Structure 1
């Protein structure tokens, strides 16, 4: 009886939320009829998954509330990290914020771009990668810090259910320290590298052109330059391409970074992505090495520090977020050498 009551209460709450959202929605240039259908379908899917939710069976479960006030103030379990045809509607504030990230002069219409995008790549992926159907998903997020050198973490990293990497990070020649498996690789067009056959590419779009690039790079190959040269064609299978939700980028910026920096780095986007799709998260390759140097593990110059001085990210604040997550036992950080 209690379960039935809970289901109906959940249904009513979601119905009120949806109705309120529609009534308060202001246009973002997206075609309403197409998105209305997607919203109804998405609402149905989310309700079904919520009712069938399977509790976490890990020793430590990230999503557990009332452990840390700091965490509860930031973590919003309803946020969906992946863009789909059913959740592509964005409110006006989010849309305008996203457009300003890299200040395109004449961005293409987002609705047309999204519809074209989902004719090429899957538009019906589970936005939380079926997390609710898994009792305990252990994930490794592998950063690019030089502290991975001589760490011998490779076997531990590969033992996780998901192994998340980012940008140009290589594995060949570094397997003993960084592992050889990758399940999800976060990139944007300017940081793309060819991936293994069974690796899911998670595109992080910072502008409308990034979405157009995916379409072009898997079909005609006409886009060869954004603000720098980009690969005109990629070999990633179309069914292995996922899109990081622009609204989720803003959520990371607002809730987790509290507005620090101009926008989040791929590193912190990978971390927050993982705490939403995983039950346990282990971080490798984040922060400086034992001598205080900030550099990539494949660089020969330990004092390079390139990724810490990007000018658009607040690396210190982002690192403080990860260390706080570790301090409250939501994640573990392996600091290497």
Structure 2
């Protein structure tokens, strides 16, 4: 536009000085001004469109759908500001501690909690080993529950194709590889359900009391000698560099936001699923729910108690949320054969 102003001014000056020779020059100048003006406008809008188009196309991951881009996971229940894992610099609030300590009647103080967690990070990584989202990478995760619905499912090879395979509690693979696979990258446990792990598997601790932190410290070093409501392993085999501890504030968030305070607290399986929604780009779910008779059995055992239900956990409510997530195509839910019968 500055150039156009210059041309117009210059042409007027020539008209005053040389009236006979510049009339045709003014007409040509006007045409040139208009051409330059519209060319500039075209370049401006084209550049703006290209930048906007690039911003839209630039995804956070390489999956067809990225959970990390989803701003409304099941009626906006997902709050990505809640950190799933404890870190050395993450502080729990007094309110969050008060909620957490009531899960299993913890009687010790907030100060004891803080001291114990500080001791924990003297041994284990100060930050969790989490795969970060990348525009050219798709973090596929299989969350494998322990439901009897996995029997005769033949899901094993499909489960093992995932980059991250999350299992929980005493779930075993040996002898059941055809149905459940044999790959495990993350094993979610608490002391009373703990099993030994290989050097390539992350131990994900769900802590319910201060003693759970103490158990992890001692069971992986000198040995744990305390007691709990069930027998616990005095020592556990695990790679200390791959230990991750779930944030008690995240457990509170799952119970209040996702479950609406149903039940005493969420099941390990449900918390593992919501954890996957926070650290994965694509989540596929296996081995959840009761069998066709309504029993919550495990795939590796023969059920003898035909009245077995979910105890303190809101099993049916959790299962309904999983189905809603599947219906909204946030996850893919493989129900298994027994549920279909």
Alignment of 1:227-238 (within 5 A): 227-238=229-240
Is contact 2:61–2:135 with CA below 8 Å preserved after alignment? no
Alignment of 1:1-337 (within 5 A): 55-65=60-70, 71-87=74-90, 89-106=91-108, 109-126=112-129, 128-131=130-133, 135-290=137-292, 292-301=294-303, 304=306, 306=308, 308-310=309-311, 312-337=312-337
**Cα distance, 1:92 vs. partner?**
1.7
Unpaired runs of 5+ residues, structure 2, are 1-57
TM-score normalized with structure 1 length: 0.78
Q: Could you give the per-residue CA deviations for residues 259-301 of structure 1, whole angstroms, max 9, x where no partner exists?
A: 0011111011000000000011000001123454431001112
**Cα distance, 1:133 vs. partner?**
7.2
1:132, 1:97 → 2: CA distance? 35
Cα RMSD after superposing both structures: 2.0
The answer for the alignment partner of 2:21 in structure 1 is none
The answer for the alignment partner of 1:7 in structure 2 is none
1:64, 1:72 → 2: CA distance? 15
The answer for the alignment partner of 1:44 in structure 2 is none
SS of residue paired to 1:139? strand
Q: Could you give the per-residue CA deviations for residues 144-189 of structure 1, whole angstroms, max 9, x where no partner exists?
A: 0111001100000000010000000000000000000000000000
2:303, 2:159 → 1: CA distance? 25
**Cα distance, 1:221 vs. partner?**
1.1
SS of residue paired to 2:68? coil
Structure 1 pair 134–202 and aligned structure 2 pair: CA distance change class (3 A): farther
TM-score normalized with structure 2 length: 0.77
SS of residue paired to 2:166? strand
Is contact 1:253–1:260 with CA below 8 Å preserved after alignment? yes
SS of residue paired to 1:109? helix
